[in-house]
Each structure stands twice: as C-alpha cells, then as structure tokens.
Amino acid sequence: MNFPHTKREEVIDEMFGIKIADPYRWLEDGSNPLVKEWTEAQNVYTDANIKGETFDIISDELVKNFNVTTFSNPTIRKGKYFYYERQPNEDHSVFYMKVGIDGVPIKLVDPNGMNAGNISSLDFCVPSRAGVYVAYGLQQGGNEMPTLYIKNVDTRENLDDVIPRCLGGVTWLPDDTGFFYKRYPAPGSVLKNEEHLHMKVYLHHLGDSPENDELIFGEGRPKDDMIMLKSSVDGRYLAISASQKWTENDIYIYEQETKKTTPFVVAISARFAVFFLKDKIIIRTNYKANNYRVLSMPIESMFAPIDEWKEIIPEQEHALVGVSPTKDKLLLEYLVNACSKVEIFDHTGERQGEISLPPYSTLNEISTYCEEKEFFYGVSSFTHTQTTYRYIPDEDIFVQYRKIENPIDPDDYVVKQEWYVSKDGTRIPLFIFHRKDIAPNIAHPTVLFGYGGFGIVKSPGFMRGFVPWMERGGIYALANIRGGGEFGENWHRAAMGEKKQNSFDDFIAASEYLIAQGYTSPEHLGILGGSNGGLLVSVVAVQRPELFGAVCSRVPLTDMVRFPLFGMALRWVHEYGDPKKEAELKNILTWSPYHNVKAGVEYPNFLFTTGENDNRVDPLHSRKMTALLQSVNKKNEILLFTEKDAGHGSGKPVKKMVESQALLLTFFAKKLGLKV
C-alpha cells in the first residue's frame, strides 16, 4: 500500500521486567509541527481514497435528512418553558423560552454565526429557579472546557459574570442570587495533561468576581474526582457526589447556613444517586441490589445509617436506570432486555401505573422538576424519530406534544431482537434492523455496533445518519455486550479490569452469530464503535482479523499502557486496569490493540476518526494505531481522518456531522459492497 510515510523510532520501555515497544511515540505530541504535517498528509490520503461520486451522493442525502427541525423537551420554571431547538439549515441548537405552553418562542442564546467556521456551541443552559436568569456554557471547536455566562431572561442581556473552565451546568440557589458550579484549574496551575483533573466546587454570587468565589469542595481531594451536585428544594442542603471509580461513589452534604460539609454515605462499594423532595430525601442505589432500588428518609433524619433507611421501591426483575421526581410523583425507568419501561409511583413508593411505550423503544429524555406536576418525555426507536409527550396534571392525561420529521416509512422495516451465546456460555441480546423487502444472505453488507463499558446502556434509537445505508438495504446490528449496564451492575462488572476480555469475546460471538445465521459473511461484515467502543472494535479486529471486512473506530483508545497519562483518562484506570500495577499491566498487555499488532498479519480495512481538540480521548491513540497498522498491512486500507475544530463529538456543527458520517458510510459501502 502507498500509505503516507511515517518514521519509526526504537523506543522501548521496561516495566516490571517486561520490554514494551512504542515505535510511534513521537506522534503523541499534537503540537509538534511534524505531527501536524503527518496528520494533514493522512487527511489528504483519506480524502483521495474515500471522497468522490459515492461520497457526494451520500453527503447530499445526509444534508437533506439533517435539514429538519429538532428540539428538546421543555423545562418548566414558574410558568416559563425553556427548550433547545434547531431549525433547518442551522448548524447548532438555539435556546428558547416561552411564557405558557402556547406562548410565543423567544430566542435567548443562539451560537450560530458567533465566529468563523461556526465552531461555538452550547454545552449547557440552566434556567434559575424562578426563571429570571439562564446560565449557559459555550464551548469552542468541541473543547470540553466551556465558558459560563449569565443572561437575564426578560432583558435578553448578559450580566458581567463570566467564568471560564466550567463543567456540566450549575445548581441555582432558590432566590436566584447565585449558584454552585464545578470548575477546572487555571492553565499553568497544575501539571501538563492534568488540566481536566482537579475538579472543585464553588459558590458564585451574581455580580461577584469568580476569583472571589467560595471554594465549597475539592481541596485536598483525589485529582481524579468525578463530581455531581444536587440541591434541596429549600436550598439549605447541597448533596455532593464524589467518586474515582465507576462502580461506587461517596456522598457529602454541604449545609448553607453553617458552611459545614458532612459525610453522608461514604466507603460503601455501591452507587448512590440522591434526590431531594420537599420534606424527604430519596436514594437510587445498587447497595444490596444489583438492579437498584429506592430508599427514603425524612430530611431531618437523613444522616441515619443507610441500613436504617426505608426501602420504598424494592429491587425489581429488571435494572432501574433512572429516577425522575415531580412534585407528587416518582417516574422510574427500567430496562427490559435493553428497552425502556416507565413505571409511576407516588412519593411513598405506592405504584400508580405505567407509561405506555412502543415495542423496542427508548426513553430518550424525561424532563421533570420537583416543584412542578407537569412533565415531558421523549421516545424513539430504530424506526421512529423522537416523539415528545406532555403530561397534563389537571386532566391526568398524556398528549403528543411534538414530533420530529421521519425520513423513512417505519412500515418498510423490521426490527428483531435475537439472542446468542458468548464464549463462556453467557446469553447476549442482539438487535437486528433492516428493510422488510430484503432477504439477508452471506453477501449482505452489515454493520455491527457495540460499546460495552462504564455501565453505559445502548438501546434502540433513531439513526438519522444511517438512513442512506438502511434505505439501500444495508443491515444494522447492535450487540448489548457485557461492560454496559443493560442488566444491572453485575453486567458491568463482568467486563471490567481483569475481566475486560469478556466484552471482546461477546462482540466476537455476535459477529460469528451474524455469519452463522446467514445474515452476512466476513468480507461483508463491518464493525463500528466510538470512544470505549472504538477501543472495542480495534481490539477485536486485532484479535480476529479474518472475521471482518471493515472497521470504523471513532475517537478510540488504543495504547492502553500509556492512556492514563493524557487528559482526563486517569479516571478510567478503575475500568480498564492500572498499567502502573504489575498484574494489571500484564492483563492489559494481553488485549491492548497497539501492543498486539503483529508483522505478517493482514488486518481488515480500517477507518480511524478523531478530533484535534479531543480532550476526552487524546487523538494520539488514533495516530499511533494508524501508523502501526499501516506499517504491517500490504493489501487492506488503513485510513485516518482528523477533524479540525472538533473534539470528542459534542458541539459539532451539522456540516461536520454530515462530512464525518458520509466518510463512514462511503468507507463501509466501498469495503463491504453496498451499491450506492
């Protein structure tokens, strides 16, 4: 293959007596002019191999499919309805408000056209308790370090308050005079590559300088803390969730009046999510319950030991993945074989009913507020775009509120859930989605998607970016492999650390099942994953190269020996293992894709995609893996596309979404034989 030239260096580390080669370490430094030059050469090579007539046809169709109005559920504050909406031909969603459900929409924050390249996007928008202000975060080019601004809802003017390096929104005080927020450290105040660690919680009063904000939590804490905040209805208490692991967290309670922080639930190997009601506090937890349960305690007694709390909703057969409180209800989302089911309870745990959802569907979004009875929820599936429903409390009815335009006819498609057996005998569910009028056969182009990590659930959802693939008769499959949270915490832990190989075995078994059942064959089977899923498809393609015709690995991890050294990745050692520990390093080396590529083996066609501003998974992983695979492949393509002014995926303008998706679909079409 005539790949762009990449120099190879003799770099060998020795860890616990093990010699580990790293011939492309020089590609780690994205600021190096030579690395920039190499990256540009790879982009040119990828364009030359993918772009052309097929790419143009698919791009035009994607532009048409994305040229629709999209929206979020409304959030209610004192009679005001706040929501996101993107109109056709807009690159980014805009934040709106209207007074009353039938009020006139008022545009509050519009990131479109803010700068050249349209790279500004909204990271978060949080209205204050009375709806007087909205705190919003703007990110640039996909960089997950948004700057926070405050806007007066009535005047539509920004206040002078500007806070850089904020994360994940704010928690407003009840009187709208300020808020709690999370902030990363100032550049230069911490070691290089630790700018996305050392998270701390502050209290900001409107009109004050951020330099004077009160430090609430984080001093002396582990640098890899992951923090979440939840305020009581009266604002007296702030619950602070802090964790370094993905399987457990501690809760602390900060009291406004005394400025005292008290341990609430600590040093228990389980997950706890706190919700404040007017007079009580409830907890969703997997403590002594793999599928989670709900506990309750009056606020005045909340510091009682956890075993003394009242269980108001016991563990059920299916995993409880979400609790959404309203003024008088608790809406609980369960997963039944990776599909959503919503049950309704009152605040005492008495069951009141169920929200009817279509088969094989997912609850995309549920918008409740603890001081409102009204709420909204959205549902989608492989065949149906999001439909949003509104609950009208005075009439005790659900009505369809809005629906996103559907570019396909659902009646033309079939969705099946089949089960297969993994290497160790575990049964795994597999969704298969295709047009009704096709007869799957061994020459049928098929894309298999997987994730399998961090307890994250992957459920059916509408895939606007795959419409050109599906309409031409392509097959799409989704494997709910271990490592995810589809069947409770045990499903997650079954593919963590020393057991990580289980998720790879599950995905390989899904591929073998599709082939054995006559849906496709290795030369027509492609695999797709992003982030942890990008790691997944990279690993299995290295372990079983003969099983796949094409691999698209988006924003992946690949060098699992050095991954904790960059950005926020230190937070993932509890999921994958810590390379600084001998036993865990040895396990990692058995599957780390960068360390298992062998000379003399022909690997499948690969397309790596990454973003130059990705501070979640550093682009170095894609660069190094691309270089290594290009050094051994003699026949199949190894391609890399690095998006400029883009990060891990959030904040992309539609034009960038279209380009990256058209590259993916064209790559799969060419390598797997889909006729365009």
The pLDDT of residue 142: 83
Q: Determine the pLDDT at residue 567.
A: 85
- Contacts of residue 615, Cβ cutoff 8 Å, sequence gap at least 6: 143, 144, 145, 195, 196, 567, 568, 647, 648
Q: Is 198 left (phi over 0), alpha (psi -120 to 50) or beta?
A: left
What is the sign, positive or negative, of the torsion defined by CA atoms of 77, 79, 84, 90? negative
Query: pLDDT tens across 451-461, in order?
Result: 999 999 999 99
Q: Is the pLDDT of residue 116 over 80?
A: no
- Helix or strand or coil: residue 630? helix
Sign of CA dihedral 657, 658, 663, 668: positive
Query: What is the per-residue pLDDT for 646?
Result: 84
pLDDT of res. 302: 95
Average pLDDT rounded to a whole number, residues 594-621: 96
For 378-411, give one letter per residue: b (16+ CB within 10 A) or e: bbbbbbbbbbbbbbeeeeeeeeebbebebbbeee
Question: Is 531 labeled as catalytic in the residue annotation?
Answer: yes
Q: Give the DSSP per-residue string, 292-357.
A: -EEEEEEGGGTTS-GGGSEEEE---SSEEEEEEE-SS-EEEEEEETTEEEEEEE-TTS-EEEEE--
Tens-digit pLDDT profile for residues 361-382: 999 989 999 999 999 999 999 9
DSSP structure class, residue 602: P
| CB atoms closer than 10 angstroms to residue 468 | 24
**Mean pLDDT for the stretch of residues 478-491:** 97
User: How do residues 203-259 score in pLDDT, each as one tens digit?
Assistant: 999 999 999 999 999 999 999 999 999 999 999 999 999 999 999 999 999 999 999
Query: Is the predicted pLDDT of residue 117 greater than 80, yes or no?
Result: no
The two beta strands, 200-205 and 214-217, are: antiparallel
pLDDT tens-digit readout, 301-336:
999 999 999 999 999 999 999 999 999 999 999 999
Choice among 182-196, 409-423, 569-583 with the minimum mean pLDDT: 182-196
Structure confidence at residue 141 (pLDDT): 87
Residue 187 — pLDDT band, cuts 50, 70, 90? confident
Query: What's the pTM value of the predicted model, to 2 decimals?
Result: 0.96
pLDDT at residue 648, as a whole number: 87
pLDDT tens column, 134-176:
999 999 888 888 999 999 999 999 999 999 999 888 999 999 9
Give the integer Cα–Cα distance in Å for 207 and 140: 25
Task: Return d(Cα 118, Cα 86) in angstroms, integer.
Answer: 14
Averaged pLDDT score across all residues of the chain: 96
How close are the terminal C-alpha atoms of the chain, in Å? 25
Share of the chain above pLDDT 70, in %: 100
Distance of CA 574 to the CA centre of its chain: 18
Q: What is the Cα 458 distance to its own chain's centre?
A: 10
Looking at residue 57, its pLDDT comes to 98
Question: Does pLDDT of 11 surpass 90?
Answer: yes
Confidence of residue 406 (pLDDT cuts 50, 70, 90): very high
User: Which amino acid type is present at position 590?
Assistant: T
Query: Any catalytic annotation for residue 648?
Result: yes
Q: 94-117: b or e for each residue (b if 16 or more CB lie within 10 Å)?
A: bbbbbeeeeeeeeebbebbeeeee
Contact between 458 and 484 under an 8 Å Cβ cutoff? The reply is yes
Q: What is the CB neighbour count within 10 angstroms for residue 176?
A: 16
468 pLDDT exceeds 80? Answer: yes
- Using DSSP's 3-state secondary structure scheme, residue 358 falls into coil
Per-residue pLDDT tens digits for 520-562: 999 999 999 999 999 999 999 999 999 999 999 999 999 999 9
Reference 67, options 83, 93, 86; nearest CA is: 86
Write down the catalytic residue from 72, 318, 648, 660. Answer: 648
pLDDT at 430 (0 to 100): 98
Q: Which two tokens stand for residue 555?
A: 């924003």
Predicted confidence band of residue 652 (pLDDT cuts 50, 70, 90): confident
Helix (H, G, I), strand (E, B) or coil at 140: strand
| Per-residue confidence (pLDDT) for residue 440, from 0 to 100 | 83
Angle at 449 between CA 639 and CA 320, to 5 degrees: 140
Which is catalytic among the residues 241, 422, 531, 538?
531
pLDDT at 510 over 90: yes
